[in-house]
Amino acid sequence: MLAAVTDRKGHAGVPVAARHRGVRRWLPAIPLLLVSALLLAACQTSPSAPPTGGAPTLLPTAPVATLAPSVTPPTAPPIDVVTPAPTAATGAAACTVTDLKASHGLVEGATGSRIAEVLLVSNRACSVDAFPALGLRDSAGAALVGGASAGPGRIELKPAVAYSSNVRISNWCADEPSFPLTLGIVIDGQEVVVEGGSFPETGDLPPCNGDGGPILEGTAWVATP
């Protein structure tokens, strides 16, 4: 049994050992009290208002993904559209009227047209349009009919080889011309006269079957056997 301690004034005090035991009982509770006080202060503290008079602070935004531009697939060529290919590939120089000679055979009649085979011969290797461009003149040399080349491309002529084209005139819806008529092949604005007599023959014009005539045209040049 511990004796009570008497202070100088005669009052009885708490024994020392008892005081130490009481302090030790309170020590574990001090951290819990501190944590509770801090939590309570945090709950009661309101968020501070942003400072006035300055620009607001912007938070960095996430990068926005950019899409690559869409690519439109090339348009496919139309179906059933065929571009005529040249009759023959050629690197030969163009023929001139002095390089060429032409003649036609018998003129034959067909329904609504007159046809003759025209032969073309060159004295050197040179090239011409794959389809002949044709012209027709009366006996005085006046131009009557012009016929453009009927197709694209060029063909190389070999020297001393004859090339043929079937020439046709149809739908003569014009005045009666003065015979004989001269057929010509147009080469760079000049004409190679086609020998063999009048084409068509004198007085043997094809009938007029409607507007748009006369029509003068030839098939592609083909080397004869």
Residue-wise pLDDT for 90-123, tens only, equals 578 999 999 999 999 999 998 899 999 999 999 9
| pLDDT score for 59 | 42
Average pLDDT rounded to a whole number, residues 12-27: 44
| pLDDT score for 163 | 98
Residue-wise pLDDT for 181-220, tens only, equals 999 999 988 999 999 999 999 999 999 988 788 999 999 9
Structural contact between residues 191 and 136, judged by C-beta atoms closer than 8 angstroms: no
The phi, psi pair for 194, rounded to 5°, reads -90, 110
| pLDDT score for 44 | 53
Alpha carbon distance 101, 98 (integer Å): 8
Q: 46 falls in which pLDDT band (50, 70, 90)?
A: very low
| pLDDT score for 32 | 52
Residue of higher predicted confidence among 107 and 20: 107
Average pLDDT rounded to a whole number, residues 77-99: 59
- 214 by Cβ neighbours in 10 Å (0-12 / 13-18 / 19+) ranks as buried
Q: 67 falls in which pLDDT band (50, 70, 90)?
A: very low
| pLDDT score for 36 | 54
Alpha carbon distance 176, 182 (integer Å): 15
Alpha carbon distance 170, 213 (integer Å): 7
- 168 by Cβ neighbours in 10 Å (0-12 / 13-18 / 19+) ranks as buried
**Which amino acid, residue 222?**
V
Alpha carbon distance 155, 88 (integer Å): 5
How many C-alpha atoms does 50 have within 13 Å on its Cβ side? 6
pLDDT above 70 coverage of the chain, percent: 60
β-pairing, 143-147 vs 190-195, is unpaired
Residue-wise pLDDT for 147-187, tens only, equals 888 899 999 999 999 999 999 999 999 999 999 999 999 99
Range with the poorest average pLDDT among 33-42, 58-67, 206-215: 58-67
pTM: 0.60
Residue of higher predicted confidence among 178 and 67: 178
Alpha carbon distance 149, 41 (integer Å): 103
Residue 86 has pLDDT above 60, yes or no: no
- Which residues lie across from 5 on neighbouring strands? 13
Residue 68 has pLDDT above 70, yes or no: no
Residue of higher predicted confidence among 6 and 206: 206
Residue 80 has pLDDT above 50, yes or no: no
